[in-house]
Amino acid sequence: MLVGLNTNDDAAVYRLNEDIAIVHTVDYFTPVVDDPYDFGQIAAANALSDVYAMGAVPLFALNVVCFPAAYIDVLKEVLRGGNDKVKEAGALIAGGHTIEDEEPKYGLSVTGIVHPEKVIKNSTAKPGDVLILTKPLGIGVINTAIKGEMCPSETYLLAVEVMKYLNKEASEIMKEVGVNACTDITGFGLLGHAYEMAFSSGVTIEFDKDSIPLIEGARELAQMGLIPGGCYRNKKYLKGKVCIKVEEDEVIDLMFDPQTSGGLLISVSEEKAEELYRRLNKKLKFGAFIVGRVKEKQEYDIYVR
């Protein structure tokens, strides 16, 4: 076993031989948008992200479905969305399992491959590294606003596009350039997943609050108090691990905000950072952002300045 329960990495990795290792993950959740086709795409993109974060290529996926029997037509659209997104990733749906459940849930169990010597972990960030984020934040706040029917349509549509967008190209580019560590940003928020990287790597991560990218409209919704419960749970979990050296406001809330199908947080040496940043910005739909640095281990795992 190359990567298992002993780390906080995004997926399990099992070496088959000298040239091939299997990467495996599973993720599913309740609907975050009203449109079933969009929901299917978002759930699939989210599950595939764990494989991309480890520098692997997805091969196939199995549907994981919990759904009310009375809404089969809706489920068909969810599955169509998931299938189309998996095809976009260059993989295929090879089956799955369905149970009847009053609360709908959908996701994927994804299998990919990677060379055993080219696995990208979240536990190998090095002091001096530059941190690059590949999607803006704000999904949790926006989803809360959607549920409360308080989200402007343009913010809603943008958030859906962000969630549906695959981390495929970001993963391919970081592999070509060569990076030290990576994780994808999902339910624990930027600070939660950064903590896992810092703790596992034995380093401290320092973020620049003013460089944190936000989905247009997310800041205004956070100012209105539309903060999801997951944000407060993340804050509680990270108490004593994060030191905030600036005035706390809605941007800090958005750094704790749980994301659905967020971007990659990449730790790259300073020598390669400019090339990676340039290539990501040239290729990615939502750009890339230098958000912080990796430091030698200090009192706290994370500092926000």
List domains and CATH numbers for the chain.
12-118 (3.30.1330.10), 130-304 (3.90.650.10)
pLDDT at 5 over 70: no
Per-residue pLDDT reduced to its tens digit, 24-44: 999 999 999 999 999 999 999
Query: Per the annotation, does 208 bind a ligand?
Result: no
Q: What's the mean pLDDT when you consider all of the chain?
A: 95
Which of 1-10, 58-67, 222-231, 265-274 shows the lowest per-residue confidence on average (mean pLDDT)?
1-10
Chain-centre distance of CA 181, in angstroms?
14
Query: Per the annotation, does 55 bind a ligand?
Result: no
Q: Quickly tell me which residue has 């309740």 as its tokens.
A: 30
Query: Per the annotation, does 97 bind a ligand?
Result: yes
Determine the average pLDDT of the residues in 201-217: 97
Sheet holding 12-15, edge to edge: 12-15, 21-29, 105-114, 57-67, 92-100
Query: Per the annotation, does 134 bind a ligand?
Result: no
Query: Per the annotation, does 38 bind a ligand?
Result: no
pLDDT at 4 over 80: no
pLDDT at 11: 81
Nearest to 170 by CA among 44, 285, 23, 43: 285
Segment (H or E) for 156? helix 153-164
pLDDT band for position 6 (50/70/90)?
A: low
pLDDT at 209 over 80: yes
Query: Per the annotation, does 124 bind a ligand?
Result: no
Query: Per the annotation, does 115 bind a ligand?
Result: no
pLDDT at 8 over 80: no
Query: Per the annotation, does 129 bind a ligand?
Result: no
Residues 194 and 207: their CA atoms lie apart, in Å, by 10
Query: Per the annotation, does 84 bind a ligand?
Result: no
Portion of the chain with pLDDT greater than 90, in percent: 95
Query: Per the annotation, does 7 bind a ligand?
Result: yes
pLDDT at 247 over 80: yes
pLDDT band for position 2 (50/70/90)?
A: low
β-pairing, 130-133 vs 264-268, is: antiparallel
pLDDT band for position 248 (50/70/90)?
A: confident
Per-residue pLDDT reduced to its tens digit, 143-196: 999 999 999 999 999 999 999 999 999 999 999 999 999 999 999 999 999 999
Segment (H or E) for 209? none
Token pair for 271: 């020598």
pTM to 2 decimals?
0.96
